[in-house]
Chains A and B, each alone.
Chain A
Amino acid sequence: MADSSLFKEFAKGTVKENPLLISLLGMCPALAVTTSLTNAVGMGAAVIFVLTMSNIVVALLRKIIPDAVRIPAFIVIIASFVTIVDLSMAAWVPSLSKSLGLFIPLIVVNCIILARAEAFAYKNGVARSIMDGVGMGLGYTLGLVSVAFFRELLGNGTLFGIGVLGEAFKANSVLVMILPPGAFLTLGLIVGFMNRIRRV
Chain B
Amino acid sequence: MKEARYVIVLTGISLVCATLLGAVYQVTEEPIRQAKNKAVVEGIQKVLPEGTKADADNKVIVDESNPLSPVIYPAVRDGVVVGAAVKATSTAGYGGNLVVMVGIEGVPGSGLKVFNTSVLDMSKETPGLGTKVAEPAFAGQWNNRLVTEKALAVKKDGGDVVAVSGATITSRAFTDCVNQAINAWTKLGPAIVKGGSNG
B128 at the interface (CB under 8 A from A): yes
The answer to whether B121 and A98 touch across the interface, beta carbons within 8 angstroms, is yes
A77 in contact with B28 given A69-B10, A101-B123, A179-B129 (CB within 8 Å): no
Kindly identify, within residues 80 to 123 of chain A, every residue whose CB is under 8 Å from any CB belonging to chain B: 80, 83-84, 87-88, 90-92, 94, 98-99, 101
The answer to whether B24 and A83 touch across the interface, beta carbons within 8 angstroms, is yes
In this complex, the interface size class of chain A, counting residues with CB under 8 Å from chain B, is 20 to 34
Docked pose: A98 CA to B32 CA in angstroms: 12
Residues of B within 8 A of A166 (CB): none
The stretch of B14-22, B145-153, B170-178, B190-198 that contacts the partner chain: B14-22
The answer to whether A72 and B31 touch across the interface, beta carbons within 8 angstroms, is no
The answer to whether B10 and A76 touch across the interface, beta carbons within 8 angstroms, is yes
A64 at the interface (CB under 8 A from B): yes
The answer to whether A84 and B21 touch across the interface, beta carbons within 8 angstroms, is yes
Docked pose: A83 CA to B129 CA in angstroms: 30
- What 0/1 readout, one digit per residue, does chain B (1-24) give for beta carbons within 8 Å of chain A? 010011001100110010011001
B91 at the interface (CB under 8 A from A): no
A65 at the interface (CB under 8 A from B): yes
- What is the distance, in angstroms, from B7's C-beta to the closest C-beta of chain A? 9
A175 at the interface (CB under 8 A from B): yes
B166 at the interface (CB under 8 A from A): yes
- What 0/1 readout, one digit per residue, does chain B (113-136) give for beta carbons within 8 Å of chain A? 000000001010011110000000
Which of A80, A90, A91 sits near B21, CB closer than 8 Å? Answer: A80
The answer to whether B28 and A90 touch across the interface, beta carbons within 8 angstroms, is yes
Which of A65, A69, A73, A173 sits near B128, CB closer than 8 Å? Answer: A173
- What 0/1 readout, one digit per residue, does chain B (31-43) give for beta carbons within 8 Å of chain A? 1100110010000
The answer to whether A87 and B123 touch across the interface, beta carbons within 8 angstroms, is no
The answer to whether A90 and B128 touch across the interface, beta carbons within 8 angstroms, is no
A156 at the interface (CB under 8 A from B): yes
The answer to whether B128 and A156 touch across the interface, beta carbons within 8 angstroms, is yes
The answer to whether A178 and B28 touch across the interface, beta carbons within 8 angstroms, is no
- 6 pairs, A vs B, C-beta closer than 8 Å: A69-B10, A90-B28, A91-B31, A98-B121, A101-B123, A156-B128
With A66-B2, A69-B6, A91-B35 known, 7 other A-B pairs at CB within 8 A are A76-B13, A80-B17, A90-B35, A91-B27, A94-B35, A156-B128, A179-B126
By a beta-carbon cutoff of 8 Å, the part of chain A in contact with chain B is 35-36, 61, 64-66, 68-69, 72-73, 76-77, 79-80, 83-84, 87-88, 90-92, 94, 98-99, 101, 155-156, 173, 175, 178-179
Q: Which 10 A-B pairs have the closest CB atoms?
A: A91-B31, A178-B128, A91-B28, A80-B17, A94-B35, A35-B127, A87-B28, A156-B128, A69-B6, A98-B123
